Amino acid sequence: MENELLTGKKALITGASSGLGFAMAQALAEAGAAVLITARSRAALDDACLRLSHLKGRVQARVLDVRDEESIAATVEWVRAHWGGLDMLVNNAGIGMRTVNPDFMTSPQPFYHVSAAGFRNLLDTNLTGYFLVAKAFAPLFVAQGYGKIVNISMNHETMRRKGFIPYGPSRAGAESLSLIMAEDLREHQVDVNMLLPGGATETGMIPEEQRAALAGHVSLLSPDIMARPIVFLASDASTGLTGQRIVATEFEQWQTQQAAVQ
């Protein structure tokens, strides 16, 4: 249901043509925000925009490769020229284990079978990409004196799971990156938090044949699990909250705990 909680807010989400990114974009736009969705594929972005066309023109799209500094810089300039500023950056773009082992869920392979090229490719997107995009937008946030960065992560179990190199290390690195970013930006009133679904989700990172093999053994979450927490993080209610790791499946309990502390 649409509301106006985020009217006037402007958010950019990387990797937003599908999966978690798409779900978060839809939730933010339904809450009244102007949203720029980005991804590497123009065709995928066009399809996403068509699916979001009912949201009164609140969603725009731009091709962005988070591994390419020129592509990122051009997107920063687009934001400056068209919006004049930005309220929230969501680092979500990532690739999964299927890029190094299509059978990773049913036949995990040891780290020493992972190619160096496959390792570098995943880290370049999932970790270096977060760094490059945040680095490019940080001066804008600092100049404004406000802003919110949300880095999407994954369960700690994934960071320790057999056969999950390089995906596990990429998300562990992103969490350390997030905590240090939060400290570096604290004095500028720029909040940096982590958000994760709380389990495996219905996204393209698990191949269809693997999902069929896992049927009955693994319950996949809907990407919509991210809706409530991302709207909260975009709202004024979260201003000043930084360095937090929020699990979407535990969001209500987390909010109750936060209220008790305050």
Going 15 to 153 to 234 to 179, the CA torsion angle's sign is negative
| Cα separation, 67 vs 206, whole angstroms | 22
User: Residue 5: inside a domain, yes or no?
Assistant: no
Q: Name the helix (H) or strand (E) containing 182.
A: helix 167-185
Q: Structural domain of residue 98, as residue ranges?
A: 10-261
Say if residue 2's pLDDT is above 70: no
Structural domain includes residue 26: yes
Asked if 248 and 226 count as a contact pair (C-beta separation under 8 A), the reply is yes
Instruction: For the chain, give the mean pLDDT.
Output: 93
- DSSP structural state of residue 220: P
When divided into structural domains, the chain yields a total of 1
> What's the confidence (pLDDT) of residue 1?
42
Strand order in the sheet with 10-13: 59-63, 34-39, 10-13, 88-91, 147-152, 190-196, 245-247
Residue 1 domain flag: no
Helices and strands in the chain, H and E counts? 10, 7
Q: Under a CB-based contact definition with an 8 Å cutoff, are residues 191 and 148 in contact?
A: yes
- In three-state secondary structure terms, 157 is helix
* Within a domain: 3: no
The pLDDT value given to residue 39: 98
Q: Which long-range contacts (CB under 8 A, 24 or more apart) does 53-57 make?
A: 55/2, 55/26, 55/29, 55/30
Q: Give dist(CA 8, CA 45) in Å, integer.
A: 23
**Is 196 a domain residue?**
yes
101 found inside a domain:
yes
Tell me if 4 is assigned to some domain: no
The Cα 29–Cα 44 span in angstroms is 18
Convert the pLDDT of each residue in 129-142 to its tens digit: 999 999 999 999 99
Predicted pLDDT of residue 253: 95
Q: What CATH number has the domain bearing residue 37?
A: 3.40.50.720
Contact 47, 25 (CB under 8 A): no
Distance, in Å, from the CA atom of 48 to the CA atom of 39, rounded to the nearest integer, reads 10
- The percentage of residues in the chain with a pLDDT greater than 90, rounded to a whole number, is 86
**What pLDDT, in 10s, does the model give residues 166-221?**
999 999 999 999 999 999 999 999 999 999 999 988 776 565 555 555 555 567 89
The answer, yes or no, to whether residue 122 has pLDDT greater than 90, is yes
